[in-house]
Amino acid sequence: MPVYVVVGSQWGDEGKGKVVDALADKADYVVRFQGGNNAGHTVIVSGEKFVLHLLPSGVLHKNAQCIIGNGVVVDAGVLLHELHELEKRGFSTEHVFVSDRAHLIMPYHIALDKAKESARGEEKIGTTGRGIGPCYVDKYDRVGFRVGDLLDFATFKENLKKQLDWKNKILTQLYQVEAVYYEQIVEEFAIYAEKLKNRIIDATPILHKALEENKTLFFEGAQALMLDIDHGTYPFVTSSSPTVGAIASGAGVPAQKVNRAIGVSKAYTTRVGEGPFVTELKDALGEHIRQKGGEFGSTTGRPRRTGWLDLLVAKYAVQINGLTDFAMTKLDVLTGLDEVKVCVAYQIDGKTYDYIPSSAHLLAKAEPIYKTFAGWQEDISKITRFEDLPKTCQDYVLFVEEQVGVSISMISVGAERTQNIYRKSLWA
Ligand code: IMP
Protein backbone atom coordinates (compact mmCIF):
# COMPACT_ATOMS: atom_id res chain seq x y z
CA MET A 1 0.00 0.00 0.00
CA PRO A 2 2.49 2.59 -1.05
CA VAL A 3 0.78 5.96 -1.66
CA TYR A 4 -0.54 8.05 1.22
CA VAL A 5 -1.84 11.59 1.23
CA VAL A 6 -2.38 13.70 4.32
CA VAL A 7 -4.56 16.78 3.84
CA GLY A 8 -6.17 19.40 6.04
CA SER A 9 -9.94 19.04 6.42
CA GLN A 10 -10.76 22.43 7.91
CA TRP A 11 -9.06 25.84 7.55
CA GLY A 12 -5.51 24.72 8.17
CA ASP A 13 -3.45 24.25 11.34
CA GLU A 14 -5.08 20.89 12.05
CA GLY A 15 -1.79 19.22 12.99
CA LYS A 16 -0.87 17.74 9.62
CA GLY A 17 2.83 18.09 10.47
CA LYS A 18 2.44 15.95 13.54
CA VAL A 19 0.47 13.28 11.68
CA VAL A 20 2.98 13.13 8.82
CA ASP A 21 5.89 13.03 11.25
CA ALA A 22 4.29 10.23 13.27
CA LEU A 23 3.83 8.11 10.14
CA ALA A 24 6.81 9.15 8.05
CA ASP A 25 9.31 6.73 9.58
CA LYS A 26 7.91 4.15 7.15
CA ALA A 27 8.04 6.50 4.15
CA ASP A 28 10.62 6.37 1.39
CA TYR A 29 9.49 9.75 0.04
CA VAL A 30 7.68 12.66 1.67
CA VAL A 31 6.43 15.18 -0.89
CA ARG A 32 4.85 18.63 -0.64
CA PHE A 33 2.64 19.40 -3.64
CA GLN A 34 1.06 22.84 -3.13
CA GLY A 35 1.27 26.03 -1.08
CA GLY A 36 4.48 27.50 0.18
CA ASN A 37 5.81 29.02 3.36
CA ASN A 38 2.34 30.24 4.27
CA ALA A 39 2.22 26.84 5.99
CA GLY A 40 3.56 26.28 9.47
CA HIS A 41 3.81 22.63 10.38
CA THR A 42 4.80 22.04 13.99
CA VAL A 43 6.50 18.84 15.04
CA ILE A 44 7.55 18.12 18.62
CA VAL A 45 10.14 15.42 19.20
CA SER A 46 11.34 14.67 22.75
CA GLY A 47 10.18 18.08 23.91
CA GLU A 48 12.03 19.87 21.10
CA LYS A 49 9.86 22.01 18.84
CA PHE A 50 10.36 22.27 15.08
CA VAL A 51 8.23 24.61 12.98
CA LEU A 52 8.56 23.80 9.29
CA HIS A 53 7.19 26.20 6.70
CA LEU A 54 8.49 24.82 3.46
CA LEU A 55 10.28 21.61 4.28
CA PRO A 56 8.14 18.46 4.31
CA SER A 57 7.51 17.28 7.88
CA GLY A 58 9.25 14.00 7.03
CA VAL A 59 12.55 15.87 7.05
CA LEU A 60 13.26 14.71 10.60
CA HIS A 61 13.39 11.11 9.36
CA LYS A 62 16.64 10.82 7.48
CA ASN A 63 15.60 7.73 5.54
CA ALA A 64 12.80 9.54 3.72
CA GLN A 65 13.71 11.51 0.61
CA CYS A 66 11.98 14.88 1.00
CA ILE A 67 10.76 16.52 -2.17
CA ILE A 68 9.28 19.98 -2.63
CA GLY A 69 7.09 19.29 -5.63
CA ASN A 70 6.35 21.33 -8.74
CA GLY A 71 3.05 22.65 -7.34
CA VAL A 72 4.76 24.41 -4.44
CA VAL A 73 5.78 28.06 -4.55
CA VAL A 74 9.26 28.39 -3.12
CA ASP A 75 10.80 31.27 -1.22
CA ALA A 76 14.42 30.22 -1.73
CA GLY A 77 15.68 32.37 1.17
CA VAL A 78 13.23 30.71 3.55
CA LEU A 79 14.14 27.27 2.27
CA LEU A 80 17.85 27.85 2.86
CA HIS A 81 17.17 29.33 6.28
CA GLU A 82 15.11 26.27 7.30
CA LEU A 83 17.80 23.91 6.06
CA HIS A 84 20.43 25.86 7.96
CA GLU A 85 18.39 25.85 11.19
CA LEU A 86 17.96 22.07 11.04
CA GLU A 87 21.65 21.56 10.33
CA LYS A 88 22.53 23.76 13.32
CA ARG A 89 20.40 21.42 15.45
CA GLY A 90 22.32 18.40 14.24
CA PHE A 91 19.98 17.12 11.52
CA SER A 92 21.19 16.03 8.13
CA THR A 93 19.41 17.71 5.21
CA GLU A 94 21.10 15.85 2.38
CA HIS A 95 17.81 14.11 1.60
CA VAL A 96 15.96 17.36 0.71
CA PHE A 97 15.29 18.17 -2.95
CA VAL A 98 13.22 20.67 -4.87
CA SER A 99 11.51 20.27 -8.22
CA ASP A 100 12.92 22.33 -11.05
CA ARG A 101 9.31 23.07 -12.06
CA ALA A 102 8.34 24.66 -8.73
CA HIS A 103 7.85 28.42 -8.96
CA LEU A 104 9.98 30.93 -7.13
CA ILE A 105 8.45 33.51 -4.84
CA MET A 106 10.20 36.73 -5.82
CA PRO A 107 10.63 39.79 -3.58
CA TYR A 108 8.04 41.65 -5.68
CA HIS A 109 5.47 38.93 -4.96
CA ILE A 110 5.84 39.61 -1.26
CA ALA A 111 5.66 43.39 -1.82
CA LEU A 112 2.55 42.95 -3.98
CA ASP A 113 0.85 40.65 -1.46
CA LYS A 114 1.29 43.26 1.27
CA ALA A 115 0.36 46.21 -0.96
CA LYS A 116 -2.81 44.49 -2.22
CA GLU A 117 -3.92 43.55 1.26
CA SER A 118 -3.44 47.05 2.54
CA ALA A 119 -5.28 48.48 -0.49
CA ARG A 120 -8.21 46.16 0.23
CA GLY A 121 -8.64 47.78 3.66
CA GLU A 122 -11.73 46.41 5.42
CA GLU A 123 -12.13 43.83 2.68
CA LYS A 124 -8.72 42.26 3.18
CA ILE A 125 -8.33 38.48 2.96
CA GLY A 126 -5.90 38.29 5.86
CA THR A 127 -3.15 36.60 3.87
CA THR A 128 0.08 35.51 5.48
CA GLY A 129 1.92 38.18 3.46
CA ARG A 130 4.37 35.63 2.09
CA GLY A 131 3.72 36.42 -1.60
CA ILE A 132 1.79 33.22 -2.24
CA GLY A 133 -1.13 34.66 -4.25
CA PRO A 134 0.96 36.94 -6.51
CA CYS A 135 3.39 34.09 -7.21
CA TYR A 136 0.57 31.78 -8.35
CA VAL A 137 -0.89 34.65 -10.39
CA ASP A 138 2.41 34.93 -12.29
CA LYS A 139 2.59 31.18 -12.72
CA TYR A 140 -0.82 31.11 -14.39
CA ASP A 141 -0.01 34.30 -16.31
CA ARG A 142 3.06 32.39 -17.59
CA VAL A 143 5.51 35.05 -16.43
CA GLY A 144 6.83 33.28 -13.35
CA PHE A 145 10.34 32.10 -12.54
CA ARG A 146 10.86 28.43 -11.86
CA VAL A 147 13.44 26.93 -9.52
CA GLY A 148 15.13 25.35 -12.55
CA ASP A 149 15.71 28.85 -14.01
CA LEU A 150 18.33 29.39 -11.31
CA LEU A 151 20.52 26.90 -13.15
CA ASP A 152 20.85 29.26 -16.12
CA PHE A 153 21.57 32.41 -14.22
CA ALA A 154 22.43 34.62 -17.22
CA THR A 155 18.97 34.07 -18.74
CA PHE A 156 17.37 34.42 -15.31
CA LYS A 157 18.98 37.86 -14.94
CA GLU A 158 17.80 38.98 -18.37
CA ASN A 159 14.21 37.90 -17.80
CA LEU A 160 14.24 39.41 -14.34
CA LYS A 161 15.07 42.82 -15.76
CA LYS A 162 12.02 42.70 -18.06
CA GLN A 163 9.71 41.50 -15.29
CA LEU A 164 10.97 44.01 -12.81
CA ASP A 165 10.26 47.05 -14.98
CA TRP A 166 6.65 45.96 -15.13
CA LYS A 167 6.32 44.92 -11.50
CA ASN A 168 7.90 48.12 -10.24
CA LYS A 169 5.41 50.17 -12.26
CA ILE A 170 2.59 48.34 -10.48
CA LEU A 171 4.22 48.73 -7.08
CA THR A 172 5.14 52.39 -7.36
CA GLN A 173 2.44 53.82 -9.63
CA LEU A 174 -0.60 51.75 -8.74
CA TYR A 175 0.01 50.91 -5.09
CA GLN A 176 2.41 53.78 -4.38
CA VAL A 177 4.83 51.65 -2.38
CA GLU A 178 8.58 51.24 -2.72
CA ALA A 179 10.15 49.59 -5.74
CA VAL A 180 12.28 46.44 -5.44
CA TYR A 181 15.85 46.66 -6.73
CA TYR A 182 17.33 44.63 -9.54
CA GLU A 183 20.92 44.53 -8.24
CA GLN A 184 19.78 43.45 -4.81
CA ILE A 185 17.65 40.61 -6.20
CA VAL A 186 20.43 39.45 -8.50
CA GLU A 187 22.88 39.41 -5.62
CA GLU A 188 20.50 37.45 -3.35
CA PHE A 189 19.42 34.97 -6.00
CA ALA A 190 22.99 34.30 -7.14
CA ILE A 191 23.64 33.02 -3.62
CA TYR A 192 20.44 30.96 -3.64
CA ALA A 193 21.35 29.47 -7.03
CA GLU A 194 24.76 28.42 -5.78
CA LYS A 195 23.48 26.97 -2.52
CA LEU A 196 20.50 25.16 -4.03
CA LYS A 197 21.98 23.84 -7.26
CA ASN A 198 22.63 20.33 -5.97
CA ARG A 199 19.13 20.00 -4.62
CA ILE A 200 17.30 20.95 -7.82
CA ILE A 201 15.86 17.88 -9.54
CA ASP A 202 13.32 16.81 -12.11
CA ALA A 203 11.07 15.15 -9.54
CA THR A 204 8.59 13.54 -11.95
CA PRO A 205 10.71 10.61 -13.22
CA ILE A 206 12.05 10.05 -9.71
CA LEU A 207 8.56 9.72 -8.25
CA HIS A 208 7.41 7.46 -11.09
CA LYS A 209 10.43 5.21 -10.60
CA ALA A 210 9.59 5.08 -6.91
CA LEU A 211 6.03 4.03 -7.80
CA GLU A 212 7.33 1.29 -10.09
CA GLU A 213 9.57 0.02 -7.31
CA ASN A 214 6.61 -0.04 -4.92
CA LYS A 215 8.23 2.46 -2.57
CA THR A 216 6.13 4.16 0.09
CA LEU A 217 5.22 7.69 -0.89
CA PHE A 218 3.72 10.20 1.47
CA PHE A 219 2.16 13.41 0.15
CA GLU A 220 1.86 16.20 2.67
CA GLY A 221 -0.83 18.79 2.06
CA ALA A 222 -0.54 22.31 3.39
CA GLN A 223 -3.50 24.57 4.31
CA ALA A 224 -6.82 22.76 3.91
CA LEU A 225 -9.99 22.11 1.96
CA MET A 226 -11.85 25.20 3.21
CA LEU A 227 -8.97 27.36 1.95
CA ASP A 228 -9.05 25.66 -1.46
CA ILE A 229 -9.20 28.10 -4.38
CA ASP A 230 -12.23 26.25 -5.85
CA HIS A 231 -13.93 24.46 -3.00
CA GLY A 232 -13.15 26.78 -0.08
CA THR A 233 -14.84 29.90 1.22
CA TYR A 234 -13.89 32.00 -1.81
CA PRO A 235 -12.55 34.69 -1.86
CA PHE A 236 -11.24 34.04 1.67
CA VAL A 237 -9.00 31.22 0.53
CA THR A 238 -5.42 30.56 -0.45
CA SER A 239 -4.30 30.40 -4.09
CA SER A 240 -3.74 26.66 -4.45
CA SER A 241 -5.69 23.44 -4.16
CA PRO A 242 -4.91 21.65 -0.88
CA THR A 243 -6.80 18.51 -1.86
CA VAL A 244 -5.88 14.90 -2.62
CA GLY A 245 -6.56 15.40 -6.34
CA ALA A 246 -3.91 18.12 -6.46
CA ILE A 247 -1.09 15.59 -6.19
CA ALA A 248 -1.59 15.04 -9.93
CA SER A 249 -0.96 18.67 -10.85
CA GLY A 250 1.37 19.44 -7.96
CA ALA A 251 3.63 16.39 -8.07
CA GLY A 252 2.79 14.57 -11.28
CA VAL A 253 1.38 11.51 -9.54
CA PRO A 254 -2.13 10.44 -10.60
CA ALA A 255 -4.73 10.54 -7.85
CA GLN A 256 -5.85 6.98 -8.64
CA LYS A 257 -2.51 5.73 -7.29
CA VAL A 258 -3.55 6.84 -3.79
CA ASN A 259 -4.19 3.99 -1.37
CA ARG A 260 -4.94 5.96 1.77
CA ALA A 261 -6.18 9.55 1.92
CA ILE A 262 -6.04 10.79 5.48
CA GLY A 263 -7.90 13.97 6.40
CA VAL A 264 -6.70 15.76 9.49
CA SER A 265 -9.25 17.55 11.60
CA LYS A 266 -9.07 19.06 15.05
CA ALA A 267 -11.70 17.92 17.55
CA TYR A 268 -12.90 21.54 17.28
CA THR A 269 -12.27 24.18 14.58
CA THR A 270 -9.89 27.09 14.09
CA ARG A 271 -9.37 29.62 11.34
CA VAL A 272 -6.83 32.42 10.81
CA GLY A 273 -7.55 35.36 8.58
CA GLU A 274 -10.90 36.68 7.44
CA GLY A 275 -13.94 34.88 6.04
CA PRO A 276 -17.02 32.98 7.18
CA PHE A 277 -16.73 30.54 10.08
CA VAL A 278 -20.17 29.29 11.04
CA THR A 279 -19.31 27.60 14.36
CA GLU A 280 -17.05 30.38 15.63
CA LEU A 281 -17.15 31.06 19.38
CA LYS A 282 -16.56 34.74 19.99
CA ASP A 283 -17.01 34.41 23.74
CA ALA A 284 -15.03 33.33 26.82
CA LEU A 285 -15.27 29.69 25.76
CA GLY A 286 -13.62 30.55 22.42
CA GLU A 287 -10.85 32.32 24.32
CA HIS A 288 -10.47 29.34 26.66
CA ILE A 289 -10.01 26.99 23.68
CA ARG A 290 -7.54 29.44 22.09
CA GLN A 291 -5.42 29.57 25.25
CA LYS A 292 -5.63 25.87 26.10
CA GLY A 293 -5.00 24.78 22.52
CA GLY A 294 -2.19 27.33 22.01
CA GLU A 295 -4.12 28.62 19.02
CA PHE A 296 -1.74 31.25 17.72
CA GLY A 297 -0.44 31.06 14.16
CA SER A 298 2.89 29.27 13.79
CA THR A 299 3.65 31.36 10.69
CA THR A 300 2.34 34.81 11.62
CA GLY A 301 1.69 34.51 15.37
CA ARG A 302 -1.87 35.79 14.81
CA PRO A 303 -4.50 34.56 17.32
CA ARG A 304 -6.61 31.90 15.63
CA ARG A 305 -10.39 32.15 15.65
CA THR A 306 -11.89 29.14 17.47
CA GLY A 307 -15.19 27.26 17.42
CA TRP A 308 -16.94 23.90 17.57
CA LEU A 309 -16.38 21.05 15.15
CA ASP A 310 -18.46 21.41 11.98
CA LEU A 311 -19.68 18.15 10.48
CA LEU A 312 -20.69 19.82 7.23
CA VAL A 313 -17.04 20.74 6.75
CA ALA A 314 -15.86 17.25 7.71
CA LYS A 315 -18.30 15.54 5.32
CA TYR A 316 -17.33 17.93 2.54
CA ALA A 317 -13.67 16.99 3.13
CA VAL A 318 -14.57 13.31 2.72
CA GLN A 319 -16.44 14.01 -0.52
CA ILE A 320 -13.94 16.28 -2.25
CA ASN A 321 -10.84 14.34 -1.22
CA GLY A 322 -12.21 10.80 -1.24
CA LEU A 323 -10.87 10.40 2.28
CA THR A 324 -10.36 6.88 3.56
CA ASP A 325 -9.51 7.91 7.12
CA PHE A 326 -9.56 10.79 9.53
CA ALA A 327 -6.93 11.74 12.04
CA MET A 328 -8.57 13.73 14.83
CA THR A 329 -6.16 16.00 16.66
CA LYS A 330 -6.19 17.97 19.91
CA LEU A 331 -8.99 15.97 21.52
CA ASP A 332 -7.27 16.64 24.87
CA VAL A 333 -7.97 20.38 24.48
CA LEU A 334 -11.70 19.73 25.00
CA THR A 335 -11.08 18.03 28.38
CA GLY A 336 -12.63 19.89 31.32
CA LEU A 337 -15.64 21.35 29.48
CA ASP A 338 -19.14 20.67 30.85
CA GLU A 339 -20.44 20.04 27.38
CA VAL A 340 -19.07 19.64 23.88
CA LYS A 341 -21.01 20.61 20.75
CA VAL A 342 -20.83 19.58 17.15
CA CYS A 343 -22.58 21.32 14.27
CA VAL A 344 -24.91 19.04 12.29
CA ALA A 345 -26.64 21.54 9.96
CA TYR A 346 -26.92 25.23 9.10
CA GLN A 347 -29.96 27.44 9.13
CA ILE A 348 -29.81 30.22 6.52
CA ASP A 349 -32.75 32.56 5.88
CA GLY A 350 -35.13 29.98 7.34
CA LYS A 351 -33.78 27.13 5.20
CA THR A 352 -31.87 24.15 6.62
CA TYR A 353 -28.64 23.16 4.87
CA ASP A 354 -26.85 19.84 5.21
CA TYR A 355 -24.11 20.96 2.81
CA ILE A 356 -21.93 24.04 2.46
CA PRO A 357 -23.32 26.68 0.11
CA SER A 358 -20.76 28.18 -2.26
CA SER A 359 -21.50 31.81 -1.44
CA ALA A 360 -19.42 33.42 1.31
CA HIS A 361 -22.25 35.93 1.64
CA LEU A 362 -24.79 33.19 2.44
CA LEU A 363 -22.35 31.41 4.74
CA ALA A 364 -21.78 34.59 6.71
CA LYS A 365 -25.49 34.49 7.63
CA ALA A 366 -25.57 30.81 8.59
CA GLU A 367 -26.65 29.80 12.09
CA PRO A 368 -25.23 26.49 13.34
CA ILE A 369 -27.53 23.74 14.56
CA TYR A 370 -25.73 21.75 17.24
CA LYS A 371 -25.85 18.34 18.83
CA THR A 372 -24.62 18.57 22.41
CA PHE A 373 -22.58 15.95 24.26
CA ALA A 374 -21.63 15.69 27.92
CA GLY A 375 -18.01 16.67 28.48
CA TRP A 376 -15.30 14.75 30.34
CA GLN A 377 -12.97 15.85 33.11
CA GLU A 378 -10.27 13.14 33.16
CA ASP A 379 -6.80 13.83 31.75
CA ILE A 380 -6.65 11.88 28.47
CA SER A 381 -3.23 13.01 27.33
CA LYS A 382 -1.46 9.75 28.21
CA ILE A 383 -4.12 7.37 26.93
CA THR A 384 -3.06 5.13 24.05
CA ARG A 385 -6.15 2.86 23.72
CA PHE A 386 -9.56 4.13 22.62
CA GLU A 387 -11.35 1.92 25.18
CA ASP A 388 -9.55 3.77 27.97
CA LEU A 389 -11.01 7.15 27.03
CA PRO A 390 -13.90 8.38 29.21
CA LYS A 391 -17.23 7.10 27.91
CA THR A 392 -18.52 10.61 27.04
CA CYS A 393 -15.36 11.28 25.07
CA GLN A 394 -15.77 7.99 23.16
CA ASP A 395 -19.41 8.89 22.44
CA TYR A 396 -18.33 12.17 20.89
CA VAL A 397 -15.73 10.55 18.64
CA LEU A 398 -18.04 7.70 17.63
CA PHE A 399 -20.84 10.11 16.70
CA VAL A 400 -18.49 12.12 14.48
CA GLU A 401 -17.21 8.92 12.88
CA GLU A 402 -20.69 7.64 12.18
CA GLN A 403 -21.67 10.98 10.61
CA VAL A 404 -18.63 11.36 8.35
CA GLY A 405 -18.73 7.74 7.26
CA VAL A 406 -15.00 7.03 7.40
CA SER A 407 -12.89 5.68 10.21
CA ILE A 408 -11.27 8.07 12.69
CA SER A 409 -8.18 5.91 12.62
CA MET A 410 -5.82 8.08 14.62
CA ILE A 411 -6.55 10.39 17.54
CA SER A 412 -3.94 12.76 18.84
CA VAL A 413 -4.11 13.63 22.55
CA GLY A 414 -0.98 15.75 22.93
CA ALA A 415 1.72 17.50 20.97
CA GLU A 416 4.43 14.83 21.28
CA ARG A 417 5.12 12.39 18.45
CA THR A 418 4.05 9.51 20.72
CA GLN A 419 0.78 10.94 22.12
CA ASN A 420 -1.57 9.13 19.77
CA ILE A 421 -4.34 6.57 19.87
CA TYR A 422 -4.39 4.31 16.80
CA ARG A 423 -7.83 2.75 16.26
CA LYS A 424 -7.07 1.20 12.92
CA SER A 425 -3.70 0.64 11.37
CA LEU A 426 -2.93 3.29 8.80
CA TRP A 427 -0.67 0.78 7.10
CA ALA A 428 -3.06 -2.08 6.47
P1 IMP B 1 -2.23 33.19 1.75
O2 IMP B 1 -2.15 31.72 1.56
O3 IMP B 1 -1.04 33.77 2.47
O4 IMP B 1 -2.54 33.92 0.47
O5 IMP B 1 -3.49 33.50 2.71
C6 IMP B 1 -4.83 33.26 2.31
C7 IMP B 1 -5.66 32.74 3.49
O8 IMP B 1 -5.23 31.44 3.82
C9 IMP B 1 -5.54 33.57 4.77
O10 IMP B 1 -6.78 33.54 5.45
C11 IMP B 1 -4.49 32.83 5.57
O12 IMP B 1 -4.62 33.06 6.96
C13 IMP B 1 -4.85 31.39 5.22
N14 IMP B 1 -3.72 30.47 5.32
C15 IMP B 1 -2.71 30.32 4.45
N16 IMP B 1 -1.88 29.34 4.85
C17 IMP B 1 -2.40 28.86 5.99
C18 IMP B 1 -2.00 27.80 6.87
O19 IMP B 1 -1.02 27.08 6.65
N20 IMP B 1 -2.79 27.61 7.95
C21 IMP B 1 -3.91 28.34 8.18
N22 IMP B 1 -4.32 29.31 7.39
C23 IMP B 1 -3.57 29.57 6.30
**Domain extent listing, the chain:** 3-90+203-422, 103-196
Pocket lining: 132 vs ligand 1, CB cutoff 6 Å: yes
Indicate whether 196 pLDDT > 70: yes
Residue of the CA atom closest to atom 5 of ligand 1 = 127
pLDDT of residue 326: 97
Q: Which fold has domain 3-90+203-422?
A: Adenylosuccinate Synthetase; Chain A, domain 3 (3.90.170)
pLDDT of residue 110: 98
Pocket lining: 224 vs ligand 1, CB cutoff 6 Å: no
Average pLDDT in the 187-213 region?
97
Pocket lining: 150 vs ligand 1, CB cutoff 6 Å: no
Indicate whether 16 pLDDT > 70: yes
Residue of the CA atom closest to atom 9 of ligand 1 = 127
Question: Which ligand 1 atom is at minimum distance from the Cα of 39?
Answer: 19
Indicate whether 1 pLDDT > 70: no
Q: Which fold has domain 103-196?
A: Adenylosuccinate Synthetase, subunit A; domain 2 (1.10.300)
CA–CA dist 412, 330 (Å, integer): 6
Q: Which residues are catalytic?
A: 13, 41
Q: Per residue in 92-109, pLDDT tens? A: 999 999 999 999 999 999
pLDDT of residue 341: 98
Pocket lining: 13 vs ligand 1, CB cutoff 6 Å: yes
Pocket lining: 272 vs ligand 1, CB cutoff 6 Å: yes
* Of 16, 41, 128, best ligand 1 pocket probe by most atoms within 8 Å of the beta carbon: 128
Q: What are phi and psi of 56, to 5 degrees?
A: -60, 145
Handedness of CA 86, 87, 92, 97 (dihedral sign): positive
pLDDT of residue 50: 85
Q: Per residue in 223-251, pLDDT tens? A: 999 999 999 999 999 999 999 999 999 99
Q: In the chain, what percentage of residues exceed pLDDT 90?
A: 88
Indicate whether 428 pLDDT > 60: no
Question: Which ligand 1 atom is at minimum distance from the Cα of 128?
Answer: 3
Q: 225 CA to middle of ligand 1, Å? A: 11
Q: Which residue has the higher pLDDT, 427 or 281?
A: 281
